[in-house]
Amino acid sequence: MRNKPAILILVFAAYICACGAVYAHHGNSAYDEARIVTITGTVTEFDFVNPHTQIYLDVKDAKGNVVHWAVESQSPGIMKRNGWSRTSLKPGDQITISLNPAKNGAPVGFSGKKTGKVVFSDGRELMMDER
Partner 1 sequence: MRRCEKRLPLRNRWLYLAGTATLILFAAPVRSAQQQGAAAVAPAPAPRRDITGVWQYKAPGGSEGLAPDKDMPPMTPWAQERYDAEKPGYGPKASPNGNDPILRCDPMGFPRVMFALGPFELVSAPGRLLQFFEREHEWRPIWTDGRSIPVDPDPTWYGYAIGHWEDDFTFVVQSGGYNDKTWLGSTGYPHTDEMRVTERYHRTDHDTILYDITVSDPKAYTRPVVAPQRIMKLRPHQEIEEFVCVASDEQAFSKRINEPATKTPGK
In the bound state with partner 1, the residue whose beta carbon lies nearer, of 73 and 95, is 73
6 binds partner 1 (CB under 8 A): yes
Give the number of residues in contact with partner 1, rule: CB under 8 A.
Answer: 42
Calculate the alpha carbon distances from 24 to 13, 51, 106, 114 in Å. 29, 19, 26, 6
Q: Which residues of 49-64 are buried (b: 16+ CB within 10 A; e: fewer)?
A: eeeebebbbebeeeee
For the CB of residue 111, give the shortest distance to partner 1 in the complex, in Å.
12
The DSSP H or E segment spanning 10 is: helix 4-17
For the CB of residue 66, give the shortest distance to partner 1 in the complex, in Å.
17
Instruction: Give me the count of residues in the chain.
Output: 131
In the bound state with partner 1, the residue whose beta carbon lies nearer, of 8 and 121, is 8
29 binds partner 1 (CB under 8 A): yes
| Rounded Cα–Cα distance for residues 39 and 57 (Å) | 10
Residues that bind partner 1 (CB under 8 A): 2-3, 5-7, 9-10, 13, 16-17, 24-31, 47, 49-52, 54, 56, 70, 72, 74-78, 80-81, 102-108, 130
